[in-house]
Chain A
Amino acid sequence: MISAILALVALQSAVPPAELNEKTFGLVRSHASPTKQDLAFQGIDWKPSVFDGLVQAKREDKPMLMWMYFGDPRGRC
């Protein structure tokens, strides 16, 4: 938890390099790349459709968690 908070603080206070070149390439890569915590949601076996979720929910006798979002979580709104 503490390391996650420190990582977030570091991201929010990072200063961009003056320019992009071979020396600063790694700094931009580090800042723009998703962290392990950013990608934690991928640890869930999300199904791409209601139908696929229904099939599994019925088979395993479990409730469905439905994440509905205009477009997809990558853009639009």
Chain B
Amino acid sequence: MKKTQVYIAFAILALVVSIFTQNILAFKMNVTYELHYSAEISGKGQFIINIPIPPKLSWQETLNVNGTISKGEGEVYYDLVKGYVRINSRNYVKYDAKVYTSITGTYSSKDVLKKLNVTLDEYLAEVRKDLGENYVKLVGPTYWWNYTDPRFEFFLKDFLEDNNITSVKELGKLRISEVVSMIRSYVARKLNYMPISGGRQNVFEALNRSLGDCSEYSDAFAVFSRYIGIPTLRCIGYVANEWNSKLKEYDIIGHAWPIIYVSGVGWIPYEVTVGPGYLKGSPGDVSPKYICLVIDEGAKSMEYLDLEKEVIYDPEEHWVPGSSSAVHIDNLTVTLEITVKPKPQIEIHEEIRANSLSILVMLFPIITTIMLSLAIMVTVGAFREH
């Protein structure tokens, strides 16, 4: 084989590899968090409760749970994929754990962009096939995303007019990335960002008042996208904001953001809240600062929560997992504190050990030298009287 042929073969191979990698390229940054859980549950008699831990999603994975019951008795079981720690106990239990969750911050994933570069009709055909019977459940109206509410008609008409479209059917010919971007822009135009106290608002009331925070932005997005047929849920979790050097933990911000289903990729996040400190990305872009703790299906109030099957959280958002305040569900009182830190990786106290060691090393030859000197002096009779 001649040299030229070898070079050509290498060039072809490099071209093939570059074409292949082009499709999966994305800018990625990885971080592993250590979430400190401190849960205290008291009630009468036997109880089962599911404490939420970050579930497995396309960009995050809980690697390990290292927990113990520090007070009381009970059994503990955990599911890293669905994202819960199940505690089976009686009367009272205190559970402490360290949960290690890996987040892959991903930007401009060619894989995701390629999947979103098809028309809405093509996308819907694919997800319908992929999700089967579950599809209807993931796009249907729910308690919080109720597009059967008569008020929705007004906003739908407004949305279509805003985008110079006469019917929802017309959206089918547009690319899915354009459609979600149109919904995001509409929601951003209709709502002005303002932190809302007092829990989650009804989405139509929020749109009428033109005020909302992440809860309302993500609900408004979800109600439109589900109506159009895009399977949409919502993440409730945290943004690891500034590092607190005194407390040695992150100042975390409770946050909610929509996730949409993409065949072959899974659930991808889409930040729609236009407010300070939030990502302004394309669908699928993930900041390594975002930790999803609970997947919200938008369907329930806390009174309907089945503690033996579902993770504890408050769909009305009066209580957030991780806050120091207690929540009362059925006959249980639950306090669940969560603090977030990066996973410990490098020990610097070896330097301190080395410091003590070096002092010993310095002292050792000095003492040895003195002892030897004394030994010599005794041997040669330096202390002997003449």
Mutual binders A and B: no
